[in-house]
């Protein structure tokens, strides 16, 4: 398995779906990540309506960073309705031909010869494990991907795919405000099967919405920030790091200060009672 960094840079908002960074700005951001020991960059073919990988690829060349110093993740399968493809409805495609074609497009766009990790972006009711396996086997044999994993898959969907292939990662939504995977068996399953969880949206809705849940969390964080001499976002990440499944957060920020803060969060060791006090604040009632 590739040696991913303890914080992963999520690149979805680097392009036109967010900050719309130019080549120089993106190149600088890549260097900023590396300076903060963030060496893994998370992409998907659909980001920026299939344009962000190309923008990142140009920036990667511009950055003059050795390819073996970083890890590149991409995802495929979602057929997005946008300007760049003639899709009439959003759907999924996991045919052997499409998976191979999609990876080759990502390699071309990212200007690299291999992906460290390929993820199936979301489960499809029509996916066939044997056909997916043929594509993954061929891509691995050709050296175009190193590892293979999933994104947003349940344990039963994972079982379907692992019947044919080794799965090393499942990227799921998990945070203090969205912790259902800690209770519904998803993270238990990943621990039992040695599958690494990567967390998208690891700060959850905390900075995005004003809700009763977030107000309760904020109240709890006031004194914990003082106790641990940490920021709110650091404690939200430290809460994830405490979990025994060894969750790796995928952070979407392009802000240098927040990148620096995120890197330091892994060194904060939350006491067990403080961890539960945050869970209780989030769910609004004590644990059973």
Residue 80 sits in a domain of what CATH number? 3.20.20.100
In a domain, 163, yes or no: yes
Q: Which two tokens stand for residue 217?
A: 């969390």
Among 47, 94, 189, 206, the one annotated catalytic: 47
Return d(Cα 176, Cα 171) in angstroms, integer. Answer: 16
Residue 241 is a catalytic residue: no
* Domain total of the chain: 1
Strand partners, 117: 73, 147
Q: Which domain holds residue 59?
A: 8-173
In a domain, 275, yes or no: no
β-pair type (196-200, 115-120): unpaired
**Could you report the per-residue pLDDT of 130-172, keeping only the tens digit for each?**
999 999 999 999 999 999 999 999 999 999 999 889 999 999 9
Q: Which two tokens stand for residue 4?
A: 């991913």
Mean pLDDT by 10 residues, the chain (288 residues): 92 97 98 98 96 98 97 96 91 97 98 98 96 97 98 96 93 98 96 97 97 98 98 98 98 96 96 98 96
In a domain, 192, yes or no: no
Phi, psi of 96 (to 5 degrees): -55, -45
Q: From the CB of residue 286, how many other CB atoms can be counted at a distance below 10 Å?
A: 8
In a domain, 203, yes or no: no
The model carries a pTM of 0.97
């Amino acid at each position: 398995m590739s040696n991913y960094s303890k914080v992963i840079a999520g690149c979805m908002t680097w392009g036109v779906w967010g900050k719309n960074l130019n080549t120089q700005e993106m190149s600088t951001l890549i260097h900023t990540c590396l300076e903060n020991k963030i060496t893994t960059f998370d992409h998907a073919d659909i980001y920026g309506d299939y344009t962000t990988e190309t923008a990142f690829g140009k920036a990667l060349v511009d950055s003059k960073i050795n390819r073996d110093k970083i890890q590149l993740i991409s995802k495929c399968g979602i057929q997005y309705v946008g300007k760049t493809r003639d899709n009439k409805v959003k759907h999924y495609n996991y045919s052997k031909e499409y998976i191979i074609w999609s990876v080759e497009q990502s390699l071309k766009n990212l200007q690299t010869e291999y992906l460290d990790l390929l993820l199936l972006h979301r489960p499809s009711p029509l996916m066939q494990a044997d056909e997916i396996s043929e594509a993954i086997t061929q891509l691995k044999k050709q050296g175009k991907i190193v590892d293979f994993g999933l994104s947003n898959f349940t344990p039963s969907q994972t079982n379907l795919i692992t019947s044919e292939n080794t799965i090393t990662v499942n990227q799921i939504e998990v945070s203090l405000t969205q912790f259902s995977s800690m209770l519904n068996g998803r993270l238990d399953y990943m621990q039992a099967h040695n599958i690494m969880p990567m967390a998208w949206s690891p700060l959850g809705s905390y900075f995005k919405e004003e809700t009763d849940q977030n107000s309760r969390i904020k109240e709890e964080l006031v004194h914990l920030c003082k106790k641990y001499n940490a920021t709110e976002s650091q404690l939200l990440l430290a809460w994830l790091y405490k979990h025994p499944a060894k969750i790796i957060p995928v952070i979407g920020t392009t802000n240098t200060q927040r990148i620096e803060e995120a890197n330091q969060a892994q060194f904060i060791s939350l006491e067990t009672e403080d961890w539960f006090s945050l869970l209780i604040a989030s769910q609004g009632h004590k644990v059973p």
